[in-house]
Amino acid sequence: MATTITTQSVISKDTAFCTETEFRNETGFTDTTEFTSADIGRKILEAVEKVKRDMFVSIRLEFTTKDSNDRYFLSRRWIANAYGSDVSHGVVTPLDFRVWESNETSAVTSAYFLQGSRINRLIYEIPKEGISEFDPINGFFKLTDSYPTDSNYRIFCDYWIAGKPLDEIQTELKFANILWAEILILEEKKGKRMKNGVVSISQGGRTITRSESEYNEWIRDLWNAYHSYVNFCRPYYGKNVCIGRFGESRNGYFPRYGRYNW
């Protein structure tokens, strides 16, 4: 004997780190006449690019290292969303990095070099469908059997890194996204009258009349809040330095030598 029941899902990809509802709830910009959904949606998407530019660092054309399981490893952590890839923010997908294969052995590449160019390879982008698996935490990807198209080709990659694993900074990304979208809206309103003809704005427990300096003060507060999130999330991209004498030094016994403990 048998019985049945159905199951179904909807699969979504987030286009921003926050939604319009989250934006309206957090900011108090609930007036849909003054702040239309289309306008807020556009500002949120513009703010996403700003957030990614401030919080993530791009790594270009890095040669990868392949292990015996055909995993191509990237040297840096943690992998983040790409600039300009307007899909699936908060989750790293194959659309968030570019993989290239390089031909360094053909006659053409020799010709380049003989012409005096320092470029001695031909590079081709591997399409996203050629990326079969990606592990953003461990920083490796796999390619399908079709790639690289020649076993002599080397693989390199463009990718973006954050200071912490992406799933750990979802909240910070969301708030940064909201804050920058709010700044964009206030900047727009600063030089204009409200649509409904009034000259003051009252949102989130704060009322200001149409005065540029008051707008600027509000924007500055938001800017500071935004940058506290940026500082928390962005990668540390430099060398540690020590201040102090030998007792605090981690370099070694001789002050003019570099560190031992990389």
Partner 1 sequence: MASTVTFIEYLSSETTTATPTQLDLVSTVAANASRSTYPVSVGNYSQTKAFKIRFDGTFTNVSQVKLYKSDGAYLTGETIAYGVSSSYHVPTGGAYEDSVADTAIPTSLPATANVTIGGDLGGTITGSGATDFVYLQSSVTIQAISATANSKTLTVTWTEVA
Binding footprint of partner 1 on the chain (CB under 8 A): 1-14, 87-88, 90-94, 132, 134, 167
| Min separation Cβ 143 and partner 1, Å | 13
Q: Give least dist CB 92 to partner 1, A.
A: 7
- Quote the CA–CA distance of 243 and 226 in Å, as a whole number: 30
Minimum CB distance to partner 1 smaller for 23 or for 153: 23
Which is closer to partner 1, CB of 171 or CB of 228?
Answer: 171
- Which of 98, 87, 85 minimizes the C-alpha distance to 141? 98
Q: Which of 106, 147, 99, 145 is nearest to 125 (CA)?
A: 99
Residue 8 or 69: which CB sits closer to partner 1? 8
CB of 130 to partner 1, least distance (A): 12
Distance between first and last Cα of the chain: 67
**Residue (169 or 186) nearer to partner 1, CB:** 169
Strand partners, 143: 131
Is the Cβ of residue 93 or residue 109 nearer to partner 1 in the bound state? 93
Of 106, 204, 111, 94, whose CA–CA distance to 147 is shortest? Answer: 94
Is 208 in contact with 214 (CB distance < 8 Å)? yes
Cβ at position 227, least distance to partner 1 in Å: 28
Provide, rounded to whole angstroms, the least separation between the CB of residue 29 and partner 1: 23
Residues 184 and 258: beta-carbon distance below 8 Å: no
